[in-house]
């Protein structure tokens, strides 16, 4: 006897979502390490703290970090280093398609 209002089989949409989740690179593990570390194009983080070298995606986040970790030093936006300006993206690499896959 089956439960009430429960489908007996998986839907095509659910199966496709599971296949997509299993086969698409989401940026974790070794595959996303270069992107997270900022070796190639600065990674997701844009700014670097001049005192402890930690990275942040925007100025507001860096200001919050600075106020909590370096309270005795005044925050100066001009001292932040922009990682996206210092790293140049390599255009010879193939660009990923939808959701990080190389399929077309």
Query: Higher model confidence: residue 99 or residue 71?
Result: 71
Is position 79 within any domain? yes
Q: Quote the pLDDT of residue 94.
A: 59
**Residues of the domain holding 60:** 13-90
Q: Quote the pLDDT of residue 25.
A: 66
Is position 1 within any domain? no
Contacts of 2 (CB under 8 A, 6+ apart): 8
Is position 29 within any domain? yes
Q: How many domains does the chain have?
A: 1
Is position 103 within any domain? no
Is position 23 within any domain? yes
Is position 98 within any domain? no
What is the band of 67 on the pLDDT scale with cuts at 50, 70, 90? very high
Query: Which conformational region is residue 42 in: left (phi greater than 0), alpha (psi within -120 to 50 degrees), or beta?
Result: left
Q: Quote the pLDDT of residue 69.
A: 94
Is position 65 within any domain? yes
Q: Tell me: the pLDDT tens digits for 10-56?
A: 888 889 998 888 877 676 777 676 666 655 555 567 888 999 988 88
């Amino acid at each position: 006897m089956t439960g009430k209002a429960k489908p007996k089989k998986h839907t095509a949409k659910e199966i496709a979502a599971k296949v997509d989740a299993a086969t698409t690179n989401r940026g974790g593990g070794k595959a996303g390490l270069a992107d997270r570390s900022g070796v190639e194009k600065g990674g997701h983080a844009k700014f670097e703290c001049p005192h402890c070298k930690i990275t942040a995606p925007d100025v507001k986040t860096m200001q919050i970090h600075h106020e909590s970790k370096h309270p005795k030093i005044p925050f100066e936006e001009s001292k932040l280093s922009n990682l996206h300006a210092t790293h140049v993206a390599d255009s010879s690499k193939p660009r990923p398609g939808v959701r990080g896959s190389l399929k077309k």
